[in-house]
Amino acid sequence: MKDHIYKHIELTGTSTVSIEDAVNKAIKRAHKTLKNLSWFQIVETRGHIGAGAVQQWQVTIKIGFALES
């Protein structure tokens, strides 16, 4: 098990569909500019309400990724 250093960042993904979709949208965006994304953890699940229903899921996650040494 090699000794890596990992960095954590915090993002909020949004989706009209589901919690899982909001998480995947945040990860997809992070993947555009960061390599080695490794794990995530849900920090908070909120959302926007309109017309008596959820209009948007807003899921905040921490993402961990290995830094190049």
Q: In whole angstroms, how close is the CB of 64 to a second copy at the nearest point?
A: 7
For 53, phi and psi rounded to 5 degrees? -155, 160
For 4, half-sphere exposure in the C-beta direction (CA atoms, 13 angstrom radius) is 12
Whether 68 and 6 have beta carbons less than 8 Å apart is answered as: no
The answer to whether 6 and 62 are in contact (CB under 8 A) is: no
Give least dist CB 19 to a second copy, A.
Answer: 7
At closest approach, how far in Å is the CB of 22 from a second copy? 8
Contact characters 1-20, a second copy, x per CB under 8 A: x-xxxxxxxxxxxxxx-xxx
- Could you list the residues that contact a second copy (CB under 8 A)? 1, 3-16, 18-20, 23-31, 37-42, 44-57, 60, 62-64, 67, 69
